[in-house]
Structures are given as structure tokens and as C-alpha cells.
Amino acid sequence: MADALKKAIEEKEKGNAAYKQKNFDLALQHYEAAIQLDPTNITLHTNKGAVYFEQGKYDECIQVCEEAVNIGRENRADFKLIAKALSRIATAYLKKNELEAALNYYNKSLTEHRQPDIVKKAQEVQQKIKERDRLAYINPELSLFEKEKGNEAFKEGKYPLAVQHYTEAIKRNPEDAKLYSNRAACYTKLMEFPMALKDSEECIRLDPKFIKGYLRKGAVLLAMKEPTKATFAYQKALDLDPNNAEALDGYRKALMAESEDPEAVKQKAMSNPEVQQILSDPAMQMILAQMSKDPKAAREHLKNPDVAAKIEKLMECGIVSLR
């Protein structure tokens, strides 16, 4: 018996050496010889499964590793070894693009031994399943149907129902900016302003040329008593269409609201950590000083995207004005 086990170890080492050299046929011969000598050793079976995996024989890998798990349980093998065999099955299913089976076996592996890299792999598979299902759900025709239902509900003043239809339309066609604009209008009617603002910003992200995104955002910010930010949103709309009546009206309302207490607006802005960081930057201090003395300097500095983003933030908060 001892001689058999010793020979099994020798065959295993020869198999490992062949495996490292990517001589998989030879590795398989040595692992099978080792199994004949020591059939209850779970590691020999999982090693054999690893060879099949490298050869792209995923069904064979799964079968051998399933046998390894059964042999391991029957012989009270270390739970870490059982977990390893289960995770190898999961990875083989992943290669076959059978995501649910892969996730199932990763979870089985984690019940035996919670290995951080396996936790990560299980999470990645979960995300792949979620994304696959999301993409499979996309259907522009059904999205249009739900959008029309939402429009009908909106006209009838049934705003919660309209939100449901627009939400379904978004799931069916998540890249359509107009759907977010429509839902933002519903949320505004329902006074769900943070949700309306989020949808407005997503609308703008998807289509920066779609004026309604900025109009929605401006209206929401006015409702949230953020007139300076609303002014900035309406200005973006006017950049797209200088004669847009809704943008002009919103811009005037925002300016009037802003002028009621400009100091309060500035004080609130100054408490913003991002604003504080910008104003404490020596380079920005110099730029702002130049801009206050020479308006032409502003145009030069705005050519720098990083500086332009910081100035835009200060404009949003009412700290500086280029008007």
C-alpha cells in the first residue's frame, strides 16, 4: 500500500511537470496512472479536470470534477479541496457561457470555503447575467408602445401611471434621451424633484443637443430653490436655441429669484467643499484675478478644459459671472 501511494505521488509530480510544459496529453497519462494507484485522492481528480479544461474539453472537466467532489465527500477530504473542485466546475460552465450553472457552482464552492477570488468571480457572473437579461429585454417597438401609454396617462393627469409606463419604456430602450425627459416631467408634477433632476441629467448625458433636457433641469432646479444652477441650465438651453420662449422665460425667473438674495446664494455656495477646493487653489486664484481685471483673459482660460470645468462650477454656484 505504501509503495502504491509513493508511486502515485511520483506519477502526480510527473503529471504536474508535463502540465507546466503544456504537454497535456502526457500530463493526463500520468494523472490517470496516479489515480489507478490512489483512487481516493481528490487532488488527482481535480488535476485531471484541469487538464481537460486547458484542452477545452469542458464537459469532460465538469464530469471529472463532479466525481472528485463525490470522492472527496466520501473520504472526508479537506473542504478547501472540495471547494476548489466546485469552482473548477463553475469556471468550465462559464467557458460554455452557461452563466446560471456557473453561478450555482461558484456559490456551492463558497459554502465549502469562502475564498475572496471566488466571491469576486461569483459577483462578476451575477453582473453578466444581469446585463445579459437587460440587453435581452431591449425592444424599441415595445418601448414606443409604453411611451405612448405614458403620454396618454400624462395628458389625463395620471402621473404615477405615466411614470410606470415611461419606466417600462426606458427598460425597453435605455438609450432614448426623450424618455428620461418625459419621466422627469412626471416626477416634477409629483414634486419628486431629486428623481426629476436625475432623469434630466441622464437625458442631457445621452443627448447634449436635446434642449428639453436643459429645460426640465432648469424647471426642477427652480422648484428646488436653486436659482443660480437653474440660470446655468437655462443658459445651456439658450445656447442651443437663443429664441426659445420657455428657456427665455425660465432664465428671467431664475435671475429674479437669484437677485432676491444673492449673498445667501454665495454663502451657501461657499460652504460647498468642491467650491472651497477650487477657490483655495493658488493657480485658480491667479486666473480669477486676471479675469476680474481683463475680460479677454476669460476666453483664453476657458480653452483649458480643466479650468473651464472649475469656472463652470463657480458660475453654477453664483461665485463668478461671465455675463
Angle at 192 between CA 190 and CA 193, to 5 degrees: 125
Phi-psi region of 213 (alpha: psi -120 to 50; beta: other; left: phi over 0): alpha
Give the H or E element holding residue 205.
helix 193-206
Q: What is the DSSP letter of 303?
A: T
Give the pLDDT of the chain (323 residues) as one tens digit per residue.
Answer: 668 888 989 999 999 999 999 999 999 999 999 999 999 999 999 999 999 999 999 999 999 999 999 999 999 999 999 999 999 999 999 999 999 999 999 999 999 999 999 999 999 999 999 999 999 999 999 999 999 999 999 999 999 999 999 999 999 999 999 999 999 999 999 999 999 999 999 999 999 999 999 999 999 999 998 988 899 999 999 999 999 999 999 999 988 887 665 665 666 566 678 878 887 888 888 887 787 777 676 677 777 888 788 877 777 766 666 65
Whether the CB-CB separation of 31 and 48 falls below 8 Å is answered with yes
Whether the CB-CB separation of 32 and 48 falls below 8 Å is answered with yes
Whether the CB-CB separation of 221 and 213 falls below 8 Å is answered with no
pTM value is 0.64
The number of angstroms, rounded, from the C-alpha of 251 to the middle of its chain's C-alpha atoms is 34
- In order of their start, the domains of the chain are 40-117 (1.25.40.10), 268-322 (1.10.260.100)
Extract the C-alpha cell encoding 201: 441629467
d(CA 150, CA 155): 9
